[in-house]
Amino acid sequence: MRFDDDDLKTITAISDALNTSLATVEVLPGSIEQWQTDPAVPFLLVDRNLGLPQKLLYKLYPFASSLLRQLRSTSSSSFPSSSPATTTLLNACSIILITNPAHYTALNQRKRLILSGHLSMKQELHFSTLLLSSSRLASKQSILWDYRRWLFQTQYNDEGHSGLIPAALLREELDAILQSCETHPRNYYAWAHWEFCLESLHDACINTTMAKDEYSPVIAYAFSQLLRWIEHHLSDYTAAHHLCRLVHRFHELKVLEHWLDFDLTFSRLLKQVISLLTRYTDHEALWMYLRALWAINEDQAFRDDLEALLLSLPTCKYREQCISWFNIALT
């Protein structure tokens, strides 16, 4: 297959755009002719939002793959960080991953560029954020979420770091996760990454007293965001499960005791689920939410309150199933 200089110029132009402070990248269906009439600019760039036509990416993909095969055969350590070869290799990987987010070889090549000092961690975190939101396909790639955890662990477990991910970054990460879950509902890989972030918050709170003032607002933010999420995604049991785990993980640490208007308790969750079930009895996920609360909190007084409230709910098949489940669990 033959490639022309225009392909390389287009890859370079797209990569230059990716290296700016973009807000979003989106893979657009069809060709550029469906989106604009200027043939000289084969992509859209409007108000820090980059749109890449799918047909353009498919055209560039074989060329980018060829560049990756040629350049990765030479050790990246032999390239100066600002050399044309390093830049071309990085640009090729960017095009490949936007087109095929599960391309393991391209991700591994970017890892090597990071470890050899050719690519900054901050720059790569930004690219990873853009990549995850670029398409439904990208948002639900387990390899991309694993790669993101690798970036955090490599950056903050090195010498010179406390091992704690900064609170501001964790808050941004929570937003990125919820955005991905909007793009692709029931995104279990994104929720697994949520668990990683919450574990990082927990480690920060138990390892240093000084960190609590910095990290407790992020915990409060995560709690409020999940409460709101469940109100608008009644069928998302995974979110309810993680909300229960959040309260179970943090309520005994008393990290939010100075937030007088914030109720990080199982009673707050019970109030929410009962309110929702009163209005939406046909959503099975809400009944699963109620069961999760009962299972995760073994306090007998709480369970008694929950069972009493359960009996006050409208009769339906899910209510009877829930009562039967409690009876079986107690035997």
Query: How far, in Å, CA of 3 to CA of 38, rounded?
Result: 22
Grouped pLDDT means (10 residues each) for the chain, 331 residues: 75 93 91 72 88 93 94 66 84 97 96 91 92 91 96 79 83 94 89 95 78 83 96 95 94 67 86 96 96 93 94 93 88 71
Closest CA to 324 of 272, 283, 287, 280: 287
User: Which residues fall within 8 angstroms of residue 44, CB to CB, at 6 or more apart?
Assistant: 28, 32, 35, 36, 50, 51, 52
Q: Cα–Cα distances in Å, from 260 out to 244, 254, 273, 281?
A: 21, 11, 22, 32
Res 39: pLDDT: 67
Buried b (16+ CB within 10 A) or exposed e, 262-300: bebebeebbebbbebbeeebebebbbbbbbbbbeebeee
Which pLDDT does position 275 carry in this prediction?
A: 96
| Both structure tokens of 306 | 């929950």
Sheet holding 49-53, edge to edge: 24-28, 49-53, 44-46
Q: Coil, helix or strand for 51?
A: strand
In the block, residue with structure tokens 């005994």 = 252
Look at residues 150, 58, 63 and name the one whose alpha carbon lies nearest to residue 104.
150
In order of 21, 38, 76, 97, the CA distances from 91 in angstroms are: 16, 24, 14, 10
Q: Mapping DSSP to helix (H, G, I), strand (E, B) and coil, where does residue 78 land?
A: helix
Residue 177 and residue 183: Cα distance in Å, rounded?
A: 10
Q: What is the pLDDT of residue 210?
A: 60
| Closest C-alpha to 175, from 135, 221, 243, 137 | 221
Position 172 scores a pLDDT of 94
